[in-house]
Amino acid sequence: MTTDDPWHHRDQPSPAAAQPSDAPSPTDQAGEPASTRKKRRLPFLVELPLLVLVAFALAVLLKTFLVQAFYIPSASMVPTLEVNDRILVNKVVFQLREPERGDIVVFHEQGGGPSGIEGALSDLAAGLGIVPPAQKDFVKRIIGLPGETLEVRDGVVFINDQRLQEATVQQGGYLRARGNDDFGPVRISEGKYFLMGDNRRNSADSRSSLGTVQRDEIVGRAFVVIWPPSNADVLTSPDFGLSPSPPPDAQAGAVTPPVVADEPERAPGV
């Protein structure tokens, strides 16, 4: 058969037809055509706002449900917390355990804002910066637990008629103010806590109009000072103990420590 036979040209596949249609493109080094990869990649101007939005949403969720920063404007917790300190508050810990004596906690002013779903939406809106916080927040230390009877005699705390052993400034950075102040005795209701500032003689706390604090008003436990750097520290609870009440004359010679001037009590969230 000669090469000019017309049937010969029909039987031979053309070079284009011989190449499989699904053969990878020379520019395809990742297993797919380069044109497809280009179509799937979002433009930078679209990716950037999405990344910012995701980061913002994560920050709001973190602040609303896990950890929140608070600013300390008063001297009621001196020397543990100084004026202008910034602290972080763990908002999950009391879902895992009950508040304990010695915990430094942030709590809402009682009856100062909505509750339930309305309260959750209000907190979310405040976290987004849409509205200011609906409640005032305070920071104090838990001293009395539910069911206990608390009394302050000449500045010394007694729990169930037993003296509360509190660490001194030198031992734990925790101020035990002993003055001529007396309070109680009062019995702490179930589900409530008795809170006091470390700067005992300059603190509006459960001894004043704040009263005992309900469990559900406690925001969380302060666990670290993050600002300023010079004050950065992990916040731990001092060792507490109860001992039998000393004779009345044993308390007469108590020395009153220096007192820090009074400051406003509000501790708003950052």
Greater confidence (159 vs 121) lies with 159
Asked whether the whole model's pTM tops 0.85, one would answer no
Question: What does the angle CA 80 – CA 63 – CA 219 come to, to the nearest 5 degrees?
Answer: 55
Query: Closest Cα to residue 198, out of 164, 224, 174?
Result: 174
Output the pLDDT for position 12: 56
> Across residues 61-82, what is the average pLDDT?
84
Give backbone dihedrals phi and psi of 185, rounded to 5 degrees, phi first. Answer: -80, 150
Q: Exposure of 40 by Cβ count < 10 A (0-12 exposed, 13-18 middle, 19+ buried)?
A: exposed
CA atoms 84, 85, 88, 94: torsion sign? negative
Structural domains present in the chain: 68-113+136-251 (2.10.109.10)
- pLDDT, residue 215, reads 94
Residues tagged active-site: 76, 140
Report pLDDT digits (tens) over 93-111.
999 999 999 999 999 887 6
Lowest mean pLDDT among 9-18, 170-179, 211-220: 170-179
218/110 Cα distance (integer angstroms): 10
- Per the CB < 8 A criterion, the answer to whether 126 and 133 are in contact is yes
Average pLDDT over residues 150-169: 86
